[in-house]
Structure 1
Amino acid sequence: MSPLVPYEGELEPDGDYDGQEFGGLDLADQEGPGSRFMDCALRECGLDRTDLGRARFIDCVLDGIRGVGTDLGGASLRDVEVVDARLGGVQLHGAVFERVLVRGGKIDYLNLRKAKLKDVVFEGCVLAEPDFGGAELERVEFRDCVLKDADLSGVRMKDVDLRTVAELGIARGVDRLAGAVISTAQLLDLAPAFAAQIGVRVEDAPGG
């Protein structure tokens, strides 16, 4: 692989970036909808309110990116690594993930509504109140992650592995876990939610 060329300047709508490195740049409030990133690296970049809607990332590394309100709605990520991201309120509704690794970092209020994830691994990251509403997950694995108050409303799952999730909290959509595999311990933790879903009231017997 050829050395990446350092990028300078601002993002442009429908920009075409090939083999470039975005290192330590503040891209806050910039407009790059519809852009294509091929064999690129974004390292330690600020993405506050950056518009990257419908952007395509192919064979890219996103390392140490940070930002609040980043718009990646409808984006496509293929063969991408996202490492140690610190994001809040990132919009990825309708996005397509294929062969993506998300490792480390913390993402708050991740919006993946109606997104499609295939061959994706979340590893050692914290996802606080992620919204998977209406999303499709196929061959997705969560390894040593923390999932806090996840919204699984309307999710469709196939071969989703949750067994090594360090903390599994489901705010809505516990009935959508068909197609997922969980551990015995997780089943016990989720038992009250499952019972409530089917209308079973759990109480100790008198004198018990």
Structure 2
Amino acid sequence: MKGARRPEVRLPPLVAYEGGELEPDGDYDGLEFREAAFVAQDGGGARFMDCALTGCALDETRLHRARLLDSVLTGIRGVGTDLGEATLRDVEVVDARLGGVQLHGSVLERVVIRGGKIDYLNLRKARLKDVVFEGCVLVEPDFGGARLERVEFVDCVLKGADFNAVTLVDVDLRAAAEVDIARGVDRLAGAVISPAQLLDLAPVLAAAMGVRVEALE
């Protein structure tokens, strides 16, 4: 199995962001956003290159089709952040606290999501390549119709994951702390799991196959 290629982000000396609200199709290069409140702002189509976002509030922030390249996001928080059809390439996301973030139709390449907790992550029909979920908690993530290639789950908790119609290629679940699949357990072809995980998943695998498991009386 081919392992995921991790991003190698080396930020240049950054300039503190002193602008106002985000702008649609804005161009942000070599900037540091610290403790910025972008609540309900519209940065759709914007490009963030060689940027650091630290402690920023992204509640209901519109970043549809935004491009985040060679950047580090630390301690970001928010509910309902719209990153639908966005591109994240060579990005590190550290200790995020997000709920209902929309990443449907997005492209993630060489991305590490480390620590933090994300509730109701929407990755429907997204394309993930060389992505690592490490030490984070994902509550009811939706991977429906997505394509995952060289994706690793390391010390990560997956609760109520939806893998309906997903395509998996070289996906490594063996190091995950917990794997709970609500839908799409029949789509695990292309993934590697541990023997212990196989035992944990046996009831849902049997149910998906229509097999009844009953002890002799």
The number of equivalent residue pairs is: 206
Counterpart check, 1:61 vs 2:84: no
Find the counterpart in structure 2 of residue 133 from structure 1.
144
User: Which of 14, 17, 30 is 1:19 aligned to?
Assistant: 30
- List runs of 5+ in structure 1 lacking aligned partners: none
- In 1: Cα distance, 2:12 partner to 2:161 partner: 40
The 5 Å alignment of 1:45-194 reads: 45-194=56-205
Shift of 1:10: 1.1
Which protein has greater RCO, CA pairs closer than 8 Å, 6+ apart?
A: 2
- List runs of 5+ in structure 2 lacking aligned partners: 1-10
Find the counterpart in structure 2 of residue 44 from structure 1.
55
Moved >3 Å (runs of 4+): none
Counterpart check, 1:7 vs 2:17: yes
- In 2: Cα distance, 1:161 partner to 1:138 partner: 10
- The answer (yes or no) to whether the contact 2:12–2:50 under 8 Å persists in 1 is no
TM-score (normalizing by structure 1) = 0.98
Name the Cα RMSD after superposition.
0.6
Residues 29-84 of structure 1 deviation map (CA, whole Å, 9 limit, x = unaligned): 10100000000011000000000000000100010000000000000000000000
Amino acid paired to 1:98: E
User: Which of 15, 28, 39 is 1:28 aligned to?
Assistant: 39
Shift of 1:166: 0.7
TM-score (normalizing by structure 2) = 0.94
